[in-house]
């Protein structure tokens, strides 16, 4: 056997020894991706629920009259007055 053949043989055995560790890490990576996908679906579902609630509130508020800009009290002022009582 020549020097090149021995060098190739040595490197190929190193690769074969490394492959099980790579396979294990690849499987862990897949598990992490699945967990991320699940969280993204949960977040998407939560956003959809919030949109439904927002539309429901909007429908209820549709018939509420707005006060003219000068007559409308500032929201924080109303909130502070409620707390001080």
pLDDT for the residue 27? 97
CA–CA dist 52, 45 (Å, integer): 11
pLDDT at 23 exceeding the cut of 80: yes
Q: How far apart are CA 85 and CA 71, in angstroms?
A: 22
Domain segments of the chain: what residues? 3-63
Predicted confidence band at 84 (pLDDT cuts at 50, 70, 90)? low
- Single pTM value for the model: 0.56
Residue with more model confidence, 43 or 3: 43
Report CA-CA distances (Å) from 38 to 6, 16, 33, 50, 60.
Answer: 48, 34, 9, 18, 33
pLDDT of res. 10: 84
Who wins on pLDDT, 69 or 14? 14
Taking the CB of residue 10, how many other CB atoms lie within 10 A of it? 9
The encoded tokens of residue 15 equal 């690769």
Q: Which tokens belong to 10?
A: 């040595």
């Amino acid at each position: 056997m020549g020097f090149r053949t021995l060098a190739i043989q040595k490197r190929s055995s190193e690769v074969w020894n490394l492959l099980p560790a790579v396979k294990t890490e690849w499987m862990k990576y897949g598990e992490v991706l699945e967990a991320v996908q699940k969280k993204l679906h949960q977040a998407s579902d939560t956003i959809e629920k919030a949109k439904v609630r927002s539309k429901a509130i909007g429908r209820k508020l549709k018939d509420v009259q707005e006060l003219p800009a000068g007559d409308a009290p500032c929201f924080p002022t109303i909130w502070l007055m409620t707390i001080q009582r």
